Amino acid sequence: MVDQIKKYLYDIQESIDSIHKYLGEKRNFKVYLADKTLKGIVLYNL
């Protein structure tokens, strides 16, 4: 069970890192809401 939890946490961190790498410093929630492509990329990585 502990190994499964560690895998989930690792996968979550990988997804967060991918999203941060794509977004860079241009993180703006209003831009995110208005951009379907950006939303798709973020949701794909969740």
What pLDDT shows up at residue 33?
A: 86
What pLDDT shows up at residue 46?
A: 66
Structure-token pair, residue 32: 């995110």
What pLDDT shows up at residue 1?
A: 75
Higher pLDDT, 40 or 4: 4
14-42 confidence digits (pLDDT tens):
988 988 887 777 778 888 888 888 788 77
Which structural domain range is residue 25 located in? 1-44
Asked if residue 4 has pLDDT above 90, the reply is yes
What pLDDT shows up at residue 37?
A: 86
Total structural domains within the chain: 1
What pLDDT shows up at residue 38?
A: 79
